[in-house]
Chain A
Amino acid sequence: MALTGIQIYKLLPKTNCKDCGYPTCLAFAMKLAAKQEELSACPHVSEAARAELAESSAPPVRLITLKANGNEFKSGNETVLFRHEKTFVNKPGVFVRFSDDLSPAEIQANLAPAEAFQVNYVGISLALDGYAVASVTGNPEAFAGAVAAIRNLSHKPLILIARDPQVMAAGLRVVDGETPLIYAADQDNWQSMAELARQHQAPLAVRADSLEDLAGLTEKLVAAGVEDLVLDPGGRDLATSLSRCTQIRRLALKNFRPLGYPIIALPAEASTPEIEPLMAAQSVAKYGGFIVLSSFTPELLYPLLVLRQNIYTDPQKPIQVQPGLYEINDPGPESPVLVTTNFSITYFSVANEVEGSGIPAWLVVADAEGMSVLTAWAAGKFDAERIAKDVRSFGVAEKVTHKRIVLPGHVAVLSGELEEELPGWEIRVGPREAVDLPSFLKQAL
């Protein structure tokens, strides 16, 4: 956690020499705490103070990067416990696991659909972040073969899972020059794993079944020169996993360096197949940095990636679209005029349904400050006055020969006022949910 102005002040020379351009050292310290100044502006600060300040400005959760063939995945740099405090930053990576007891042909057959998976959510393309390759045979050649089979078909980053350093070495040789995640160092093998991590300059996951053991291991690994670490605190049930992940995030935010790393969650090892998706969702909400699933299932991946997108949305910046008059399916002067708000999810839900219906329409996207219909209405940002103002300023009347406008069903209550605000216009009430728009457009208009 960043130091306060007073804490920084104690590290400064306290001479009030003004060489930094500020009248006192305290004033300069306050600027530093607010990140409006650089320490280099002080020519007299001691080396020890410099080191301490640099240490305190390091992110509480270290940024870890995986690389493969130009593809990168980043995890870490988080600064809060709750998304409403600021925002979560780097979305947890979703990786699908393959075992090395599959033949290369089987791996490739299973990999193809996973590799092709790409789904559109409110204009954002969602896909897998990479794959995990797990040694179950204990055979170095089998492991290397599985890694090679995946690498032949995919350029995504990898997590290599093996306990035996010999097996791990064989896998790493296949992807020499890349930066995969090595999983995992434990109490028994950490020295050899550290050696491999150094050789390949790759981050190393650390596994222990208590936070004490985990912190002890990371200290030893840092001392051995491996600084890019990822934590597996064990606990394959939902309660233990939630508690330990919460404890790790809290400690990291208190600047407890031995646990200041991203967490790898393994829903693939959940207690039952039914719990796996729920553990994956829990890991998205509660502090996972890497999430390893046991198989490729599009019907799970889609909601899981959407949940990740939602939880990692910056609460200060609602995702919104530009207010304006949108043309859907090439509308003409006779086409209906629909109204909605400029909250991105609202806009895309409505636009997708109208587009899918094949019916041409004009869509008035009112400036509701990025809020959904009900929320904006409750907040007074989507009222008759606002809608009428946008209808006029977007020049809707010049585009159509009729004077009929369709309101979202949730704000049916606005129709009277809107009639007053837009004299001569007929106000119709549409469905509450976008999904019911096509039948409404076909039947009611």
Chain B
Amino acid sequence: MPVEIPKDNWPGAVRTITLGATAAEGGSRRQVVTVGGAKSLPFLHFEAIHPYRPVIALEIRDRRPDDWSPLLIKTWQEVVDDPASWAQAGEKLGVDLIQLTLSLTKADGSSNTPANAVNVVKAVLAATGLPLLVFGPGQAEVDNELLVAVAEATKGERLVLGICEDKNYRTIVAAALANGHLVSARTPMDVNLAKQLNILIKDMGMPLDRILMDPTTGALGYGIEYGYSVMERLRLAALQGDTMTQFPMIVTPGFEAWKTKEAKVGEGVPAEWGDWEARAIHWESLTTIALLESGADIVVLRHPESIRRIQAAIQELMTQAEPA
């Protein structure tokens, strides 16, 4: 019997944003990465053409992380002591982006310095041709000190600098603005707070094609339903034409999943939880797929096996099996 498929015809679309710049564009990246452009809810190919697939960023640190699960350290082995090799390992794995987080302290325990941050970022840029996202340690003063130096030393690279939050965004935005970079704007699981921060950043004069938004998500089992619904609502608002929600969404399921006990800890947990490493990879990859279904454009991951699975899933989700 004939069935008329209901299709939504949305007036709005997600902004298209390009990360990184090649030599011709004033940077040094071998390739750039473009995200966004969605004109319908994720992966509904019968409704609209999805010009850009969601992309994967590998999260790396400027030095061996103190608080990561031993499973991650075991998997990456010695590259965790050298961000440049770590980035190369990620590139070899086929990730699209490298997300480098700067630490509060250096490996010897002394405070991190702008000079050190610049050296690390330059080493990573030299080691990989992928676009780079650089996040500070998450303390306003240190973030500003390190990121301003990084922004100036890498002028024109179209890095993504983060993390802008409502309490600390001005310095980071100004540094990005002056040096041709992008910013990531993070708000705690709330549609209106996300819009508000985007407006504040726009009002500083930041071009709209240089803003990513991070709505924060929570991990599976730890509030993911809030993040999931906020993302669905942000994406629906964007499609309905609300310009201050039309930014590609970046989410950090690697960070979220690997701080849960289920992923982080292998001893003293119930036997029903099953094999530790298998469970941890499921925790990260299931968190990620739920966020992709609700509109994520960039997912930042940690474990190579999760990355492989999400690569396969994105490829399958972007394959249009049936004509529109």
Contact = CB atoms under 8 A, between A and B. Distances in A.
A-B complex is real:
yes
Contacts of B43: 238-239, 242-243
Given A272-B312, A278-B289, A303-B279, A375 B188 contact: yes
B262 A307 contact: no
Secondary structure of the A side of the interface? helix
A372 interface: yes
Contacts of A275: 309, 312-313, 316
Contacts of A343: 223
Contact of B265 (A251, A310, A435): A435
A234 B322 CA distance: 12
B274 interface: yes
B316 A281 contact: no
B141 to A, nearest CB: 14
A433 B69 CA distance: 14
B285 A278 contact: yes
A285 B41 CA distance: 14
Contact of A215 (B3, B188, B226, B232): B3
Contact of B190 (A278, A297, A378): A378
Contacts of A251: 3, 5-6
Interface string A110-148: 000000011111000000000000000000000000000
Contacts of A256: 3
Contacts of B312: 272, 274-275
25 contacts: A83-B228, A83-B232, A84-B229, A118-B272, A119-B272, A121-B221, A219-B1, A237-B316, A238-B317, A239-B45, A239-B318, A239-B320, A240-B322, A242-B293, A246-B44, A256-B3, A275-B309, A277-B282, A281-B289, A282-B289, A299-B275, A300-B274, A300-B278, A343-B223, A349-B222
Contacts of A120: 270
A243 B236 CA distance: 17
Interface residues of A, number: 66
A320 interface: no
Among A219, A243, A258, chain B packs the most CB atoms within 10 A around the CB of: A243
Interface residues of B, number: 62
B317 A212 contact: no
Interface in A342-364: 343, 345, 349, 352-353, 356
Contacts of B122: none
Among B2, B220, B265, B310, chain A packs the most CB atoms within 10 A around the CB of: B220
B294 interface: yes
Shortest 10 CB-CB contacts between residues of A and residues of B: A299-B274, A298-B274, A299-B279, A299-B278, A84-B229, A310-B225, A119-B272, A306-B221, A240-B321, A238-B316
Nearest to A318: B226
A67 interface: no
Nearest to A121: B221
Nearest to A305: B221
A378 B275 CA distance: 37
Nearest to A297: B274
A216 interface: yes
B221 A274 contact: no
A274 B308 contact: yes
B283 interface: yes
A281 B294 CA distance: 12
A239 B46 CA distance: 10
Nearest to B319: A239
Given A285-B228, A304-B286, 9 more contacts: A239-B317, A251-B5, A298-B275, A300-B278, A302-B272, A302-B274, A310-B223, A356-B268, A378-B188
Interface in B51-71: none
B79 interface: no
A74 interface: no
Contacts of A277: 282, 285-286, 309
B16 to A, nearest CB: 21
Contacts of B319: 237, 239
A163 B145 CA distance: 68
A298 B273 contact: yes
Interface string B15-52: 00000000000000000000000000101111000000
Interface string B256-280: 0001111011001010111110110
A307 B283 CA distance: 10
Interface string A261-279: 0000000000110110110
A286 B293 contact: yes
A374 interface: yes
Contacts of B275: 298-299
A84 B233 contact: yes
B189 interface: yes
Nearest to B8: A250
A172 interface: no
A310 B220 contact: yes
B164 interface: no
B259 A433 contact: yes
Interface in B277-317: 278-279, 282-283, 285-286, 289-290, 293-294, 308-310, 312-313, 316-317
A254 interface: yes
A333 interface: no
A285 B272 contact: no
A323 B220 CA distance: 24
Contacts of B321: 235, 237, 239-240
Contact of B225 (A83, A119, A242): A83
Contact of B264 (A82, A278, A307, A435): A435
A13 interface: no
